[in-house]
Chains A and B, each alone.
Chain A
């Protein structure tokens, strides 16, 4: 059940990305182009997504364990460090260059678009570089 629920969540997430327009890089860039013909649609995606999940996270906070068992795996870090800010800035530059962030890139890959395959391959390579750098650091 545990992996099946995860599959269902991924599927609904992906459908949401398609319906919302997030799975279209030109739509994402239209949102990021404040100085051009700005398309504020993606702000509505955030409103919808956060509006629903804020309730779920409150419910989760009241439960001892998830419905399917096992502990909750929620982030515990609280400090603002350079990694958080610099990493997010680097991510934002990449996001603004192509209009892809990780989840929509997987969806567009699944739809069979070659540029999304290129993006995902490079993204996984980037994540691999991070892993290697972390291991070298000790």
Chain B
């Protein structure tokens, strides 16, 4: 266990904020807060279905700027090389569209809706994530 980096309270608080955001989007707009679906929908534009997507993404995009108004934003550590990051992005793009969702759509909203499909998807991407990190960190190196 990595007790040094363990942040149960901050992570729980951030999770509650994510839950509030997903609640706002479904109760106010009637939409699922699934990032890959919201982004992917813009590649298949439908009249009247564009603005809310762009605005949700804009909200995500400016979040660090808003955070910075109150407090110094934490610095993310991205260890993967540019080539690996690009490959990862490609896999995430293709995979989330074929799988109809990502961590937010399946992992948060889908599980909260008690969707069996989302449970299967979440188990699949978690297992693949665990396995990939195991291979990269413990087998290849």
Contact = CB atoms under 8 A, between A and B. Distances in A.
Given A56-B26, A91-B92, A100-B89, A26 B99 contact: no
Contacts of A50: 15, 19, 108, 111-112
A23 B64 CA distance: 10
Main secondary structure of the interface of A (DSSP, over half): helix
Given A5-B24, A102-B92, A127-B39, A77 B100 contact: yes
Contacts of B104: 13, 101-103
Nearest to B62: A110
Nearest to B10: A19
Given A6-B25, A36-B138, A50-B112, A15 B66 contact: yes
B56 to A, nearest CB: 4
Contacts of B64: 14, 18, 23, 107-108, 110-112
A75 B115 contact: yes
A96 B131 contact: yes
A95 to B, nearest CB: 5
Given A8-B24, A21-B14, A127 B93 contact: yes
A25 B19 contact: no
Contacts of A94: 87-93, 95
Main secondary structure of the interface of B (DSSP, over half): helix
Nearest to B121: A88
A13 B131 contact: no
Contacts of B58: 7, 10
A37 B133 CA distance: 12
Contact of A15 (B43, B61, B63, B106): B63
A85 to B, nearest CB: 5
Contacts of A29: 79, 133, 137
A121 B97 CA distance: 15
Nearest to A41: B11
Interface of A: 2-27, 29-30, 32-42, 44-57, 59-60, 63, 65-68, 70-75, 77-80, 83-103, 105-113, 115-116, 118-131
Interface of B: 1-2, 5-33, 35-36, 39-40, 43-44, 51-67, 73-74, 76-80, 82, 84-104, 106-117, 120-122, 124-134, 136-138
Given A3-B52, A6-B25, A97-B91, 10 more contacts: A8-B59, A10-B59, A11-B60, A23-B74, A29-B79, A38-B2, A88-B95, A102-B96, A125-B90, A131-B44
The 3 closest A-B pairs by CB, nearest first: A126-B93, A10-B59, A20-B14
